[in-house]
A and B are shown apart, each in its own frame.
Chain A
Amino acid sequence: MEKRVVFSKLGLPILLVAPQIIITLVFFIWPASQALYQSVLLEDAFGLKSEFVWLDNFIALFSDPHYLNSFARTVVFSAATAGLSLGVALFLAAMADRVLKGATAYRTLIVWPYAVAPAVAGVLWFFMFNPSIGILAYLLKGIGYDWNHYLDGTDAMILVVLAASWKQVSYNFLFFLAGLQAIPRSLVEAAAIDGARPFKRFWTIVFPLLSPTAFFLLVVNIVYAFFDTFGIVHATTSGGPAQSTTILVYKVFSDGFIGLDLGGSAAQSVILMAVVITLTVFQFRYIERKVAY
Chain B
Amino acid sequence: MKTTYREALRAGLRDALLRDERVFLMGEDVGAYGGCFAVSLGLFEEFGPERVRDTPLSESAFVGAGIGAAIGGMRPIVELMTVNFSLLALDQIVNNAATLLHMSGGQCHVPVVIRTTTGAGRQLAAQHSHSFEGWYAHIPGLRVLAPATLEDARGMLWTALQSPDPVMIFEHGALLGMDGELADDAGAVEIDHAAIRRSGTDVTLITYGGTLHKTLAAAEALAAEGVSAEVIDLRTLRPLDDATIMESVGRTHRAVIVDEGWRSGSVSAEISARIMEQAFYELDAPVGRVCTAEIPIPYAKQLEEAALPQVPAIMAAVHDVLGRMSTSVDGVPVLAETH
Same complex origin of A and B: no
Q: Which residues of B pack against A, CB within 8 Å?
A: none
Q: Which residues of A pack against B, CB within 8 Å?
A: none
